[in-house]
Amino acid sequence: MKVEARIFEILAMFFVVMGIIYAICTFFYRTGVEWTGAVCMFFAGGLALIAGTYFRFVARRVEIRPEDYEDAEVEDGAGELGFFSPHSYWPIMIAGAAALFAVGFASANLWFAIALVFVIIGSVAGLVFEYHVGPEKH
């Protein structure tokens, strides 16, 4: 996880530095600083810093992986990577409900959008608890 943390921290620094350069370069243009782009750059840096901080925090709790060694070989990472659900329909339901929510919200059909918020929450709950109920329960 240290590699991922380092990547996101470098991205955060890049976006902040580019935001400063962008603000300085647009300041000397005709209309002054173009704040939308500068703020977006700083927000992108903040989001990358959030992800990097999360990975740095998780790296302390997770055992060292082959990716964290400088001299690791490809075959060091061989083996089982985890469990992935082969037959789950919940992600499709979440995506469909989110798409319909966006259409309802964009068309100002607020009752439809509000109803779909509950469908999204129910679908996410179904995905999270998929293997805690029913015949798949272990």
Cβ contacts of 136 within 8 Å, gap of 6 or more: 130
Q: Residue 96: which pLDDT band, with cuts at 50, 70 and 90?
A: very high
Give domain status of residue 62, yes or no.
Answer: yes
Q: What would the mean pLDDT of 36-60 be, rounded to a whole number?
A: 94
How confident is residue 20, by pLDDT bands cut at 50, 70 and 90? very high
| Distance between first and last Cα of the chain | 29
Select from 29, 45, 72 the last residue of a domain. 72
Same domain, 56 and 118: no
Question: Rounded distance, CA 92 to CA 97, Å?
Answer: 9
Residue 112 belongs to some domain of the structure: yes
Residues 122 and 60 in one domain: no
Contact 26, 32 (CB under 8 A): yes
Note whether 60 and 99 are same-domain residues.
no
Give me the domain span that covers residue 117.
90-128
How many domains does the structure of the chain reveal? 2
Residues 6 and 64 in one domain: yes
| DSSP H/E element including 68 | none
**Virtual CA dihedral for 98, 103, 107, 110, nearest 10 degrees?**
-30
As a whole-number percent, the residues of the chain with pLDDT over 70 amount to 96
57 and 118 co-located in one domain: no
Structure tokens at 30: 């005709």
Q: Do the domain assignments include residue 137? A: no
> What band does 134 get if pLDDT is binned at 50, 70 and 90?
low
Report yes or no on 38 lying in a domain.
yes
What length is written for the chain?
Answer: 138
Does 115 fall in a domain?
A: yes
Classify residue 54 as exposed, middle or buried by CB count within 10 Å of its CB (0-12, 13-18, 19+).
middle
96 within a domain of the structure (yes/no): yes
The position carrying tokens 């179904």 is: 126
How big is the chain by its Cα radius of gyration, in Å?
A: 22
Interatomic CA distance for residues 43 and 41, integer angstroms: 5
Please give the mean pLDDT across all residues of the chain.
89
- What pLDDT score was predicted for residue 54? 94
Mark whether 117 and 67 lie in a shared domain: no
Q: Is the pTM of this model over 0.85?
A: no
When pLDDT is averaged across residues 74-95 and rounded to a whole number, the result is: 83
Residue 137, pLDDT score: 60
Q: Tell whether 24 and 60 lie within a shared domain.
A: yes
Domain check: are 67 and 12 in the same one?
yes
